[in-house]
Amino acid sequence: MAHGWEYVLKTAKDTLVADHPNMENASAFGHLAASIGQKSLFLPQMYVTKQGFGPVNVLFWHDRTRYDRPLYLLTSLEYGPQAETYYRKRYHIETFFGDIKSRGFHIHKTRIEEPQTLFNLLIVASLAFIICILFEFDARTSAQLGKFCRKDRIDSLSVFQIGLRAVRFYVRHAMNLSFQFSKNFP
């Protein structure tokens, strides 16, 4: 990729797939994959959607031990098993992206299109995420806890949510924020 980013993302089974950008003889991904009767099918240099976006590698993958339904993936990776491995990692980082997007910092509303600017924003958001996690360690035992978080609902909140609420409370009330990184973290 031009910016060095690699991706694996899920698409719908009715996404059109063809081997040419004019989408001649396009077929729905689900129809194409269902006809093979295999666990996976990797097709390099394909084009997708009515607009002929691509080239992109497409991967049909149905690991019946992990997923009830097949997955239809688009990827920049050149090797199907590597795309499968990357996609499995998605579930480990899903919570993180939810926290920096809709449940926390709302970076999805920025409308940033410049890749370097987005990259920089993600670094800042990641550091802010770490600060919120650090704040949770103190917030859970803080005498102030009841002022920014209902104690009867604390078990239903993520570590990040408790820390974020603590940071917002401290900032809103102009309280001193002080913490220190150490090799004996936390």
Going from N- to C-terminal start, the domains of the chain cover 8-91, 107-172
- DSSP H or E segment with residue 74: strand 71-75
Q: Which of 15, 40, 41, 11 is nearest to 29 (CA)?
A: 15
Q: What is the pLDDT of residue 63?
A: 77
CB under 8 Å to 113, separation ≥6 — which residues?
none
Encoded amino acid at 152, one letter: D
Q: What is the pLDDT of residue 44?
A: 93
Q: What is the pLDDT of residue 117?
A: 93
Helices 80-100, 115-139: crossing angle, 10 deg rounding: 60
| Cα 82 from chain centroid (whole Å) | 17
Q: What is the pLDDT of residue 2?
A: 57
User: What is the rounded CA–CA span in Å between residue 70 and residue 82?
Assistant: 17
52-91 core/surface letters (b: 16 or more CB in 10 A; e: else): bebebbbbbbbeeeeeeebbbbbbebeebeebbeebeeee
Per-residue pLDDT 10s for the chain (186 aa) are 456 788 999 999 999 999 999 998 899 988 876 555 678 888 899 999 989 888 999 998 887 777 788 889 999 999 988 998 888 887 777 778 788 888 888 888 888 889 899 899 989 988 988 888 888 877 777 777 778 887 777 777 888 888 888 888 888 888 776 666 666 655
User: What is the rounded CA–CA span in Å between residue 45 and residue 143?
Assistant: 59
Residues shown for the chain: 186
User: What is the rounded CA–CA span in Å between residue 89 and residue 69?
Assistant: 18
Give backbone dihedrals phi and psi of 108, rounded to 5 degrees, phi first.
-70, -15
User: What is the rounded CA–CA span in Å between residue 20 and residue 129?
Assistant: 43
Q: What is the pLDDT of residue 123?
A: 92
User: What is the rounded CA–CA span in Å between residue 7 and residue 75?
Assistant: 5
Q: What is the pLDDT of residue 185?
A: 54
User: What is the rounded CA–CA span in Å between residue 140 and residue 39?
Assistant: 46
Q: What is the pTM of this model?
A: 0.59
Q: What's the alpha-carbon Rg for the chain, to the nearest Å?
A: 22
